[in-house]
């Protein structure tokens, strides 16, 4: 008993030995880090819940019937709550697009790159100006098509050509071509492949 | 002052309660309340063991598909499942093509508008749609069901005391009333248009027995479709509709519980170790006082006792 | 802090010094929960539940804020937004909903233990009366928050619970019915009630957080109580909050979270009522309307008043129910014993445990279907409840002979140790007594 009391007294007076300090700190560090990891993992659901929920992701694709669109006409449809322009180009508009040398374009892309093979007259683009996000004019009958005969954004004057490429004004990129495919000659599915 | 008012308030409330108590007991013993037939005849749910029971529960996908088949062929005529979307059926093991087909073949279509004229019309369901309800609104549902409203089944196992066991008991619990029973409990006599089922709280339920004969449904996987089997399978399916995340919930639960167990143990030992120091930092009096201990040692040395 | 030996805050890092000169937040934290707050060394586990309550407040606020990102506060959309959107479609939505649902229950479990600790150890006595009363304010706010939160899913129990509880107010003569209609914004719970309950349900937890800060502040003026009820005399009696009580609270919090996780993940609907999974129907009342379990004792008291006597039974019930909570505010003046802790008050102790049993009985009666014998039991239990606080406690505190108190906290802590660690060859009692006398 006395020995125990003595050694205990010793450790109290002289301070703990080296091994004791390391063991003591290790346990505390281990406990606190474990708790820290737990706290971070516990935050994960709080962050993840803000990502699109399953019902939003399910509406990620839309089918459009294009059978009624005549050459020279276009429609505006909604996909993922954003406008999409689907235009049936006339052969004159196709030729006009193909005549432009790529070196003249701010965002060089040919009409063939922006359409499906064999369907060069079907131009499917987002209806969102790549400058600051306004909806350009030109898809509806009688709307201002701008100096290049395609689309024209009234907000800051960006002008797109018949292939939806930026030709003039502050927008940096061509109108984005979304992911789409022809499920039949008269049906287009937008957002098909990203499930 | 406070105590005087407190006394009075306390005595008044206790007094009123005493009056209520005596009054209540007097009434009870003078005119014992009538025992309703539903209290005497109502039966507790039968025992039902499902693979999804318990903390280790998992769904049997084959059973869920059979249950879904019973729902589509029998129950969906009257009962909606509007919180479930066709795309949720991935959880049953169907693939994309199968789900598209189930959706477009579904006997009720989704309300929509004619894109040319704007008139109300309907369209085939897509996987992103919820199961369309068999009736457009409550009034139509009641009109078609003798003024009874078939409840939506999405949450039914969570919305009823007894859960899946209750549903199973209800589906298999239809009986005839014996004449002796009617004589003893005349107020339990089944009114016309209702059906006697002692598992139902009010004993007489508006729903006619939905599962009437073996082989009513021909299971795709070949399992014999007895009434008992169909009732079990559709109950299991309805557990899934109420709790589609059951399996991931259990899996996450094990991980979290294990983590917290280890964290608790680690933290407990850290606590013990920190407090070990505390007991030693006290400037003690009595036998643990180092001065006294020194005295003890010296006394022992003088007496020749080993330390 | 009022103890002279409290370690002063001395920031070493230059950034901490810069911050401390401009906004003494780190100093406040150090003095409130760090090494700067001396705490009696003899606290037992009953003292862990205040911090646990704070933990659940944080859990509820975090899960609540993210749930509000998906909830639709409309009579048509609320049920589906909870049971379809959140439970099925939102990533981890089911976890957040179950965590919030069960977090409320655990918040109340922890708070009830915390309150019973206060009742047993006389934590409400001078100089901590305001700590107690602020705590009662927090409790009232919690009850309001929980009630409104339960209405939000717009299930059958949500709707009919709202109907019943707002119906209380119509018991008051003259002003009752107009008050009820004003609260609801209509003649029955509907869209107007739902949106305002959502707004207030979001607001009140932050009010609770503010009152919690006042509660802790008021506590830190005299410092924490302890199981002996004897005041802190000197440094020997205390330990700095950090690391001793941070460690103790830490491990216990992990253990409570373990129980909470087991319920949330494996039995999430155990404490819930199935009827709330049925969408609200104003034209069909559930067979048994009951509130959530944490309101059951008060529900039992409400339903115990069944006769009209001067006032009608409904009004008696409402008055009694409100009184049963409000009388707690007066506890410091009802119980005037100079001895704080029930450990040294044998008569008080027995009545305390009777109260615990009584509250459990009331809880049982409140949640069970009505029957003649349960009503009678509830009436007896309710009578005891009022008599306990309003008649028995004042009398006991006046006439009881308490046990002798220890001279100080450290005496009571070391009394046991000294006896155990007595040196070989000595008689424990004599040596300890002599040494103690010698040391003083």
Q: Are B45 and B168 in contact (CB under 8 A)?
A: yes
Measured from the Cβ of residue C175, the count of other Cβ atoms closer than 10 Å reads: 11
Which residues, other chains included, contact A118 with Cβ-Cβ below 8 Å and sequence gap of 6+?
A: none
Closest approach of C112 to chain B, Cα-based (Å): 23
Cβ separation of C423 and A5 shorter than 8 Å? yes
Measured from the Cβ of residue C158, the count of other Cβ atoms closer than 10 Å reads: 27
Q: What is the mean pLDDT of chain A?
A: 85
Question: Alpha carbon A22 to chain centroid distance?
Answer: 51
Question: Alpha carbon C66 to chain centroid distance?
Answer: 25
Closest approach of A24 to chain C, Cα-based (Å): 13
Q: Which of A171-175, B57-61, B295-299, C211-215 has the lowest mean pLDDT?
A: B295-299
Active site residue: C292, C335, C358, C411, which one? C292
Name which of B177, A194, B305 is nearest C426 in CA terms. B305
Q: Are A107 and A173 in contact (CB under 8 A)?
A: yes
Q: Name the closest residue on chain A to residue C424, using Cα atoms.
A: A1
> Is-catalytic flag, C234?
no
Active site residue: C7, C70, C220, C349, which one? C220
Q: Name the closest residue on chain A to residue C88, using Cα atoms.
A: A54
- Packing angle, helices C129-151 and C191-220, rounded to 10: 160
- Which residues on B lie below 8 Å from A34 (Cβ)? 262-263, 266-267
> Is-catalytic flag, C236?
no
**Binding partners of B (≥3 Cβ pairs within 8 A):** A, C
> Is-catalytic flag, C21?
no
What's the rounded Cα separation, in Å, for the pair C254 and C429?
40
Residue C420 in this model has a pLDDT that exceeds 60: no
The pair of structure tokens assigned to C398 is 């006046």
Which residues of C fall below an 8 Å CB-CB distance to A?
62-63, 66, 69-70, 85, 88-93, 95-96, 243, 250-251, 254, 421, 423-424
Q: Name the closest residue on chain A to residue B287, using Cα atoms.
A: A5
- Packing angle, helices C191-220 and C25-33, rounded to 10: 70
ipTM given for this complex:
0.88
In chain B the first and final C-alpha atoms are separated, in Å, by 66
Cβ separation of A46 and C69 shorter than 8 Å? no
Q: What is the mean pLDDT of chain C?
A: 91
Q: Which helix (H) or strand (E) holds A45?
A: helix A18-48
> Is-catalytic flag, A131?
no
The pair of structure tokens assigned to C340 is 């704080």
What's the rounded Cα separation, in Å, for the pair C17 and C84?
52
Q: What is the pLDDT of residue C5?
A: 86
Q: Are C409 and C237 in contact (CB under 8 A)?
A: yes
The pair of structure tokens assigned to A143 is 């709307």
Active site residue: C224, C337, C410, C412, which one? C224
- Which residues on A lie below 8 Å from B290 (Cβ)? 9, 13
Q: Are B58 and B106 in contact (CB under 8 A)?
A: no
Q: Name the closest residue on chain A to residue B266, using Cα atoms.
A: A31
Q: Per-residue pLDDT tens for A76-123?
A: 999 988 999 999 999 999 999 999 999 989 999 999 999 999 898 999
Which residues of B fall below an 8 Å CB-CB distance to A?
85, 87, 127-128, 259-260, 262-263, 266-267, 269-270, 273-274, 280-281, 288, 290, 293, 296-297, 300, 307
- Which residues on C lie below 8 Å from B28 (Cβ)? 372
Q: What is the pLDDT of residue A63?
A: 85
Q: Per-residue pLDDT tens for B147-197?
A: 999 999 999 999 999 999 999 999 999 998 888 888 888 877 888 889 999
Residue C401 in this model has a pLDDT that exceeds 60: yes
Cβ separation of A8 and B280 shorter than 8 Å? yes
Best residue in B5, B12, B13, B262 for a mutation probing chain C (most C CBs within 10 Å): B13
Best residue in C70, C90, C426 for a mutation probing chain A (most A CBs within 10 Å): C90
Q: What is the mean pLDDT of residues C90-95?
A: 94
Closest approach of A126 to chain B, Cα-based (Å): 22
Name which of B120, A190, A51 is nearest C69 in CA terms. A51
- Which residues on A lie below 8 Å from B297 (Cβ)? 2, 6
* Pairs of residues, one from chain B and one from chain C, whose beta carbons lie less than 8 Å apart: 202
Distances (CA, A) of C117 to A138, B110, B305, C294, C343: 74, 59, 50, 17, 12
CA angle B44, B203, B240 (to 5 degrees): 55
Active site residue: C249, C275, C335, C411, which one? C249
**Binding partners of A (≥3 Cβ pairs within 8 A):** B, C
The pair of structure tokens assigned to C389 is 């606080």
What's the rounded Cα separation, in Å, for the pair B307 and A7?
12
- Enumerate residues 3 to 62 of chain A having a beta carbon within 8 A of any beta carbon in chain B: 3, 5-6, 8-9, 12-13, 24, 27-28, 30-32, 34-35, 38, 41, 54-55, 58-59
Residue B12 in this model has a pLDDT that exceeds 90: yes
Supply φ then ψ for residue A151, to 5 degrees: -130, 155
Q: Are A12 and B280 in contact (CB under 8 A)?
A: yes
Measured from the Cβ of residue B226, the count of other Cβ atoms closer than 10 Å reads: 14
The total number of residues written for chain A in this structure: 195
Cβ separation of A5 and B293 shorter than 8 Å? yes
Of the pLDDT bands very low, low, confident and very high (cuts 50, 70, 90), residue B287 is low
Q: Is A40 on the interface with C (CB under 8 A)?
A: no
Nearest to A49 among C88, C92, C421 (CB): C92
The pair of structure tokens assigned to A149 is 């005969």
Name which of C82, C79, C141 is nearest C107 in CA terms. C141
Q: Are A64 and A77 in contact (CB under 8 A)?
A: yes
Nearest to B55 among C41, C244, C266 (CB): C266
- Enumerate residues 55 to 114 of chain A having a beta carbon within 8 A of any beta carbon in chain C: 55-56
Q: Per-residue pLDDT tens for C109-139?
A: 999 999 999 999 999 999 999 999 999 999 9
Active site residue: A21, A156, A183, A184, which one? A156
Beta bridge partners, A137, equal A152
Measured from the Cβ of residue B195, the count of other Cβ atoms closer than 10 Å reads: 17
Residue C284 in this model has a pLDDT that exceeds 80: yes
DSSP letter at A79 equals E
Q: All domains of chain C, ordered by start, with CATH?
A: 20-289 (1.20.810.10), 306-408 (no CATH)
Residue A155 in this model has a pLDDT that exceeds 60: yes
Best residue in C82, C85, C372 for a mutation probing chain B (most B CBs within 10 Å): C372
Q: What is the mean pLDDT of residues C214-224?
A: 95
Can you tell me whether residue B163 is helix, strand or coil? Answer: helix
Q: What is the pLDDT of residue C138?
A: 98
> How much of chain B exceeds pLDDT 90, in percent?
70
Side-chain half-sphere exposure of B194, counting CA atoms within 13 A: 16
Of the pLDDT bands very low, low, confident and very high (cuts 50, 70, 90), residue A3 is very low
Between residues B281 and C211, the one the model is more confident about? C211
Cβ separation of A31 and C69 shorter than 8 Å? no
- Which residues on A lie below 8 Å from B281 (Cβ)? 12
Q: Are C154 and C279 in contact (CB under 8 A)?
A: yes
**Binding partners of C (≥3 Cβ pairs within 8 A):** A, B
Q: Name the closest residue on chain C to residue B307, using Cα atoms.
A: C424
Q: What is the mean pLDDT of residues B105-133?
A: 91
């Amino acid at each position: 008993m006395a020995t125990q009391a003595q050694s205990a007294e010793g450790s109290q007076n002289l301070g703990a030995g080296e091994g004791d300090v390391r063991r003591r700190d290790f346990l505390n560090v281990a406990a606190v880090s474990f708790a820290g990891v737990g706290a971070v993992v516990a935050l994960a659901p709080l962050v993840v819940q803000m990502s699109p929920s399953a019902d939003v992701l399910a509406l990620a694709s839309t089918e459009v019937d294009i059978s009624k669109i005549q050459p020279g006409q276009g429609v505006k449809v909604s996909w993922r709550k954003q406008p999409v322009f689907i235009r049936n180009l006339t052969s004159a508009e196709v030729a006009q697009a193909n005549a432009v040398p790529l070196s003249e374009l701010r965002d060089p892309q040919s009409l063939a790159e922006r359409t499906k093979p064999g369907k060069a007259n079907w131009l499917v683009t987002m209806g969102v100006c790549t400058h600051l996000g306004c909806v350009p004019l030109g898809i509806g009958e009688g709307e201002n098509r701008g100096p290049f005969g395609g689309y024209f954004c009234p907000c800051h004057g960006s002008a797109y050509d018949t292939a939806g490429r930026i030709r003039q004004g502050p927008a940096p990129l061509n109108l984005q071509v979304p992911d789409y495919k022809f499920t039949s000659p008269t049906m287009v599915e937008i957002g098909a492949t990203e499930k | 002052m406070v105590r005087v008012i407190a006394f009075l308030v306390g005595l008044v409330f206790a007094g009123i309660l005493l009056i209520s108590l005596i009054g209540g007991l007097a009434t009870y013993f003078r005119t014992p309340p009538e025992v309703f037939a539903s209290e005497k005849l109502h039966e507790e749910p039968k025992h039902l063991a499902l693979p999804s029971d318990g903390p280790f529960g998992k769904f049997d996908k084959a059973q869920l598909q059979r249950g879904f088949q019973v729902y589509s062929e029998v129950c969906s005529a009257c009962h909606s499942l509007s919180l479930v979307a066709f795309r949720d059926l991935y959880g049953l093991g169907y693939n994309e093509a199968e789900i598209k087909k189930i959706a477009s073949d579904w006997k009720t279509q989704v309300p929509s508008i004619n894109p040319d004229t704007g008139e109300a019309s309907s369209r085939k369901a897509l996987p992103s749609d919820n199961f369309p309800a068999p009736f457009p609104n409550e009034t139509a549902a009641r009109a078609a069901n003798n003024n009874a409203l078939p409840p939506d089944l999405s949450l039914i196992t969570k919305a009823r005391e007894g859960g899946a066991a209750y549903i199973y008991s209800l589906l298999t619990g239809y009986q005839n009333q014996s004449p002796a029973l009617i004589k003893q409990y005349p107020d339990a006599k089944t009114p016309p248009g209702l059906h006697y089922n002692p598992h139902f709280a009010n004993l007489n339920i508006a729903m006619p027995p939905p599962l009437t004969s073996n082989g009513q449904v021909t299971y795709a996987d070949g399992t014999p479709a007895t009434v008992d089997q169909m009732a079990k399978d559709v109950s299991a399916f309805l557990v899934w509709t109420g709790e589609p995340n059951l399996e991931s919930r259990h899996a996450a639960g094990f991980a979290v519980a294990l983590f917290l167990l280890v964290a608790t143990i680690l933290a407990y030992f850290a606590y013990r170790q920190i407090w070990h120091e505390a007991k030693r930092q006290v400037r003690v009096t009595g036998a643990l006082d180092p001065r006294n201990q020194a005295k003890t040692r010296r006394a022992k040395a003088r007496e020749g006792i080993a330390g | 802090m009022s103890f002279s030996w409290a370690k002063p805050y001395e920031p070493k890092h230059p950034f901490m010094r810069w911050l401390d000169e401009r906004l003494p937040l780190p100093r406040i934290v150090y003095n409130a929960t760090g090494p700067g707050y001396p705490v009696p060394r003899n606290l037992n586990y009953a003292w862990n539940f205040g911090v646990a309550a704070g933990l659940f407040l944080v859990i509820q606020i975090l899960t609540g804020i993210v749930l509000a990102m998906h909830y639709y506060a409309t009579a048509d959309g609320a049920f589906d937004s909870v049971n379809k959107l959140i439970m099925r479609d939102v990533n981890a939505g089911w976890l957040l909903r179950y965590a919030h649902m069960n977090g409320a229950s655990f918040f109340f479990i922890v708070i009830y233990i915390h309150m019973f600790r206060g009742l047993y150890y006389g934590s409400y006595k001078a100089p901590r009366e305001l700590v107690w009363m602020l705590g009662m304010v927090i409790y009232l706010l919690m009850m309001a928050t929980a009630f409104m939160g339960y209405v939000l899913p717009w299930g059958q129990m949500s709707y009919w619970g709202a109907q019943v509880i707002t119906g209380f107010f119509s018991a008051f003569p003259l002003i009752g019915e107009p008050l009820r209609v004003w609260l609801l914004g209509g003649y029955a719970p509907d869209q107007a009630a739902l949106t305002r309950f959502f707004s207030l349900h979001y607001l009140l937890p932050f009010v609770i957080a503010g009152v919690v800060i006042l509660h802790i502040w008021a506590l830190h003026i005299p410092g924490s109580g302890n199981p002996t009820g004897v005041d802190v005399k000197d440094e020997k009696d205390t330990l700095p909050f950090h690391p001793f009580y941070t460690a103790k609270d830490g491990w216990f919090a992990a253990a409570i979270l373990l129980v909470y996780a087991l319920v949330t993940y494996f039995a999430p609907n155990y404490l819930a009522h199935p009827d709330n999974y049925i969408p609200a129907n104003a034209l069909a009342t559930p067979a048994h309307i009951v509130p959530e379990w944490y309101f059951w004792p008060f529900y039992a008291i409400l339903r115990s008043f069944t006769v009209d006597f001067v006032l009608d039974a409904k009004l008696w019930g409402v008055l009694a129910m409100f009184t049963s909570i409000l009388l707690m505010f007066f506890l410091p003046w009802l119980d005037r014993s100079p001895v704080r802790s029930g450990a040294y008050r044998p008569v008080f102790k027995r009545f305390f445990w009777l109260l615990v049993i009584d509250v459990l009985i009331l809880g049982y009666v409140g949640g069970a279907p009505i029957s003649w014998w349960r009503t009678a039991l509830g009436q007896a239990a309710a009578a005891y409840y009022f008599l306990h606080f309003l008649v028995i406690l004042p009398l006991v505190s006046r006439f009881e002979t308490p046990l002798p108190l220890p001279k100080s906290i450290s005496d009571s802590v070391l009394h046991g140790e000294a006896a155990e660690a007595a040196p070989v060859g000595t008689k424990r009692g004599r040596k300890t007594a002599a040494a103690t006398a010698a040391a003083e």
